[in-house]
Each structure stands twice: as C-alpha cells, then as structure tokens.
C-alpha cells in the first residue's frame, strides 16, 4: 500500500486544539477507508513546531529543518500562528513569518478559500437569510506576491515602506488557476483589483483579460475592491470565483467568511506547481481563522474549519474526492442535528466544545 507523508504544524493559540480534531478525523477516515470506492493510502503523520511555539524553543518562527520536512511532505496541515506574546517582535521574528516562509519556499501561489453556506447555519450569519442563502463562492487569492513580499520594505527613518509588485508571470499563473477552476463551477470569474488607482492593478487587469481569451466559455468581469467589499454583503450570490491579489484576498475572504456564519467554518488550500508522490499538488491546508488567543486553551474553538481543510487535502493533494465528500457530509450532518460551537450558537442554544464537536463529526463518519 502507498504511504503518504503529512506534516502537521499545530502552531499557536487554538491551532493545536483544532488541529488535534483534524488529525483524529483524518485517522478515522483512513480507518473507515474500506467504505470508499478508492482504497485509501496509508498516512504517515509527523508533527513539528511553527510560529510562536517554534520561537520559544528554537528562537526562530520556523527552522530550516521543518521547512525541508514540509518540502518533502505530500501535504502539510497547519493550525494557526501568532499571539500577543510575540506582537512586539521585529517583523522578521514574528510567528507570521513562518507562514509566509512556508508559502514562498513551497511556491504555494494559489490560495483557494471556498465560502459555502450550510443550510443549518443560515441563522448564524449576521446577514439576512434571504441574502446569504445559496451563496457558493471560491476566493482564489494570489499568495506569494504583492505587498506581502515586495521590496523595498522596512523602516527608513521616520517612514515605513512596503511595496506592491506583480509580474506578468505571477498574474498569469493565478489567472489560469481561476479560469480552470471556474470551468468546474458556474463558469464566472470576478477579478478584483484597484485599477483606478494602482499601477500593479492595471497590469493585473490586462493580464487577466489576456488569459481570459483562452477561456471563452467563462464569463469574466472586473470589479474594484471597494465595490467588491460592498457587493459581498449586498448580493453575495452574484459571485462564483473571485480572483484577486494577496492583500485584497486576505481581507475579502475574512469578510466573506461571515456569510457562512463564522470564520471558524472556513477551510483553505494553498497550492503551487509542485506535485507530490500522488501526482497531485503538494499543498498546505489550514483553516482561515487565526490563533484566537482570547479563547485559546479553553476547548471552545470551532474545529470545523480545520476538519474541512482535511477534506480539501484529501481531494486536492490525494485525489480522494469520495473521502472528502464523506467528511463534508459528516460536518453537515452534525450541524443539521443542531450541534454548535460557541461561535455558531445563537442566544440560548447549547454550546459544544472543540473535542466534542470533533467526536460528533467522527460518529457521523462511521454512520454515513
């Protein structure tokens, strides 16, 4: 039987709590693999420190050894990084650097953030039911360029500088991803930029329009980012695939997560051109939420974003779509039965803890 290597990086805050549930769920799906049509491979799981947790023991947010290990793995599963303890550190020492290093060293330029509204959670969104119902958006965020990585950057006396840079190649490859994935969905791409102000956005728009010529069956529209932020809450159903740069994608995906009721629900996949031993993209999978230091260690975090990241990993890095659908169905079943973590519960509703939520998902996995 094939064995695939998965590196887990729990990180900080609620990261270890939600990742523990994700890993238990992965082990469970591997053990019930017999129910799937495709025989499941064996997963060899190794864990390493990242973020503040790594800083405390090794002095750096991620060691070269861990980066190497990540590069050799067939997929990486990450919890969250960061926290108030490390907020005052200089830029290059911060826990977040671990994430940026992982993304850039592994060449993970495409970040996929699906925003799907689960029926039972319609009441959990602060927006009206009739606005969010039926929303199904995929944010395709460019992840290794733009202002996150542009040079020059740093302090210059009493000034601070960051630089937004995009090359034609960088925009082209993310545009291809967006159009290709749109072909498997509603065939609509909205490219989001700020081309009325930014030079890099003018290039972005030109290149996306150029790549679009190869995808005549996909409808392309361009939207300014400020308008998009407004349209997302006004009429989210108008969107299918949103493709945008690193910074806009970061902001818009947090905003879009509230359509789904809670940021705790959203998984993500970061992929690039590198293939793993399954012949699929060797990706990094993580919930989009942060380390939530205010609730860390209390067993109150929502593990569903992390568990759904496992589903994305099974599908994208291992081609195990059926297993992925089972995980998604199990999550849906648990929500249908009214199980709610604190972030999802309405006033008066019973609140379920992190581990219990994970256990309930695994009960459904056995049952479905």
Please report how close the Cβ of residue 96 comes to ligand IPM at its closest, in angstroms.
4
Say whether the peptide bond before residue 156 is cis (omega within 30 degrees of 0): no
Query: Does the annotation mark 158 as catalytic?
Result: no
15, two tokens: 């990261």
Site string for Mg ion, 249-278 (x = CB under 5 A): -x----------------------------
Cβ pair 121, 135 in contact under 8 A:
no
Q: Residues interacting with ligand IPM, by CB under 6 A?
A: 82, 96, 99, 250, 288
Please report how close the Cβ of residue 141 comes to ligand IPM at its closest, in angstroms.
8
Residue 142 partner contact from ligand IPM, Mg ion, none using kind-dependent CB cut-offs of 5 to 8 Å? none
Of residues 101, 109, 194, 360, which has the active-site annotation? 194
Residue 260 partner contact from ligand IPM, Mg ion, none using kind-dependent CB cut-offs of 5 to 8 Å? none
Distance CA 138, CA 92 (A): 31
Q: What angle do CA 172, 139, 125 make, to 5 degrees?
A: 170
Residue 363, SS3 per DSSP: helix
The answer to whether 96 contacts Mg ion (rule: CB under 5 A) is: no
Cβ pair 282, 106 in contact under 8 A:
yes
Of residues 148, 166, 280, 343, which has the active-site annotation? 148
Please report how close the Cβ of residue 252 comes to Mg ion at its closest, in angstroms.
10
Interface segment toward Mg ion; rule CB under 5 A; list 36-44, 89-97, 179-187, 242-250: 242-250
226, two tokens: 């400020």
Q: How many amino acids of this chain bind Mg ion (CB under 5 A)? A: 1
Please report how close the Cβ of residue 313 comes to ligand IPM at its closest, in angstroms.
16
Nearest to 243 by CA among 150, 172, 169: 172
Of residues 12, 74, 193, 250, which has the active-site annotation? 250
Name the burial class of residue 289, with classes exposed (0-12), middle (13-18) and buried (19+) by CB atoms within 10 angstroms of its CB: buried
Residue ranges binding Mg ion (CB under 5 A): 250
């Amino acid at each position: 039987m094939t064995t695939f290597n998965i590196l887990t990086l729990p990180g900080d805050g609620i990261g270890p709590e939600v990742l523990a549930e994700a890993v238990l769920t992965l082990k469970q799906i591997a053990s019930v693999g017999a129910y799937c049509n495709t025989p499941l491979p064996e997963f060899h799981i190794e864990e390493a420190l990242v973020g503040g947790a790594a800083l405390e023991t090794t002095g750096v947010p991620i060691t070269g050894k861990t980066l190497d290990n990540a590069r050799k793995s067939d997929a990486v599963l990450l919890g969250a990084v960061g926290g108030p303890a490390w907020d005052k550190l200089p830029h290059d020492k911060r826990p977040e650097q671990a994430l940026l290093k992982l993304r850039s060293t592994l060449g993970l330029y495409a970040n996929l953030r699906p925003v799907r509204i689960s029926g039972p959670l319609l009441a959990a969104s602060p927006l009206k039911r009739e606005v969010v119902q039926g929303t199904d958006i995929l944010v395709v965020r460019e992840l290794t360029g733009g202002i996150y990585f542009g040079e020059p950057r740093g302090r210059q006396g009493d000034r601070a500088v960051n630089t937004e840079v995009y090359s034609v190649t960088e925009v082209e490859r993310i545009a291809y991803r967006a159009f290709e994935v749109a072909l498997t969905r509603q065939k609509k791409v909205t490219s989001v930029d700020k081309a009325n102000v930014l030079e890099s956005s003018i290039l972005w728009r030109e290149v996306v329009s150029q790549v679009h010529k190869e995808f005549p069956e996909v409808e392309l529209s361009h939207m300014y980012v400020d308008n998009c932020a407004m349209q997302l809450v006004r009429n989210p159903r108008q969107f299918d695939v949103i493709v945008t740069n690193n910074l806009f994608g970061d902001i818009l995906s947090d905003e879009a997560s509230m359509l789904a009721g809670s940021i705790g629900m959203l998984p993500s996949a970061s992929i690039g051109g590198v293939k793993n031993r399954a012949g699929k993209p060797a990706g990094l999978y993580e919930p989009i939420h942060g380390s939530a230091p205010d609730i860390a260690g209390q067993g109150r975090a929502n593990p569903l974003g992390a568990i759904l990241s496992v589903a994305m990993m099974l599908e994208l890095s291992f081609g195990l779509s059926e297993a992925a659908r089972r995980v998604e169905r199990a999550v849906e079943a648990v929500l249908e039965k009214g199980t709610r973590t604190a972030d999802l519960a309405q006033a008066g509703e019973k609140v379920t803890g992190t581990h219990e939520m994970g256990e309930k998902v695994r009960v459904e996995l056995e049952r479905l």
